[in-house]
Amino acid sequence: MARISFKHRTFLLPALAALLVSALGGSAVAQGPGYGTPSWAPDWFKYCTNPKQWVQWTLDNSGVLQMTDWGNNYGSTLNTPILAFPGGDSVSVWMDNDARSDHYKQVWFQMNWDYAGAVPSFGPATLHWWYGTTGGAVSLSQPNSGPVGPGLGQGYFVDWNNQTVTFYWEVFPQPDWERLSLYASGVLVTNIQMLTQCNPIPEPAFFQMGALLGLGGLGALRLRRR
């Protein structure tokens, strides 16, 4: 199966961008309302009925990353997620939201890769978001030593055995949108998945904010409530 290498992005990315636009225009997407959950999602996401969204791109036999799954149970129309290669050895996924001041957002991203002949390198991983009139971001230059996710910690983890990179972060309040960007060199990207889930803040809310903002020395940047 043909695959797209970051190494050859100079020649392939313009054509890839055109093909992605064409693919999105003709693909059938599952959109709320409804419960919905993709089979490939982790259990913590599958079994929660709070507002959530999911998207997946998979490399096809023509060497094109096609959107193969997209849906939500927000009960409203969201803009189509955007997969981009903004320059250098970077991949970026943007996802739309319904902003909610009393909810927090879980952001989960996973990329599968094959070796491309060079020694792979990953990071930084940067998450940007926007709420009302204020933006925020967190940039992480070093991977975690173990898996990330609810109950495991925030950050990103490189699983060399399974050839995956997984990112997880929590944002308060639920923003208008978020964008995850990851630097990755020396790899062939074969699959990209992103999940976002919106959860009510338990009372009292202020006891939750320290953990949700994830300020513990991990490089969190400016974030203010409107």
DSSP string, 21-67: HHHHHH-----SSS----TTS-HHHHT--SSEEEEEEEE-TTS-EEE
pLDDT at 15: 34
Asked whether residue 155 is assigned to any structural domain, the reply reads: yes
Helix and strand numbers, DSSP H then E, in the chain: 3, 11
218 is a domain residue? no
Structure-token pair, residue 93: 């996924």
Q: How many CB atoms lie within 10 A of CB 57?
A: 25
pLDDT score of 103: 95
Amino acid 153: pLDDT: 96
**Radius of gyration from C-alpha coordinates of the chain:** 17
Residue-number span of the structural domain to which 98 is assigned: 6-213
Which residues lie closer than 8 Å to 147 by C-beta, 6 or more apart? Answer: 157, 159, 166
pLDDT tens digits for the chain (226 residues)? Answer: 333 333 333 223 333 333 333 334 333 344 433 467 888 999 999 888 899 999 999 999 998 999 999 999 887 789 999 999 998 799 999 999 999 999 999 999 999 999 998 899 999 999 999 999 999 999 999 999 999 999 999 999 999 999 999 999 999 999 999 999 999 999 999 999 999 999 999 865 444 444 455 443 344 444 433 3
Please name the residues in contact with 90: beta carbons below 8 A apart, sequence gap of 6 or more.
181, 182, 183, 184
* Domain membership flag for residue 225: no
pLDDT of residue 216: 37
Q: Is residue 221 part of a domain?
A: no
Q: Which of 61, 102, 42, 53 is nearest to 79 (CA)?
A: 53
Question: Does the residue 207 lie in any domain?
Answer: yes
Q: What is the pLDDT of residue 48?
A: 86
pLDDT of residue 30: 43
Question: Within a domain: residue 121?
Answer: yes
> Could you give the number of structural domains in the chain?
1
In a domain, 94, yes or no: yes
Look at residue 35 in the predicted model and tell me its pLDDT: 63
CA distance 69 to 71: 7
- Give all strands of the β-sheet with 177-185 in edge-to-edge order: 82-84, 90-96, 177-185, 121-131, 134-140
d(CA 120, CA 220): 26
Question: Measured between alpha carbons, how far is 160 from 6 in angstroms, rounded to an integer?
Answer: 18
Asked, for residue 134, whether it belongs to a domain, the answer is: yes
Task: Identify the pLDDT of residue 107.
Answer: 98
- Residue 70 contacts residue 55 (beta carbons within 8 Å): yes
Read off the pTM.
0.77
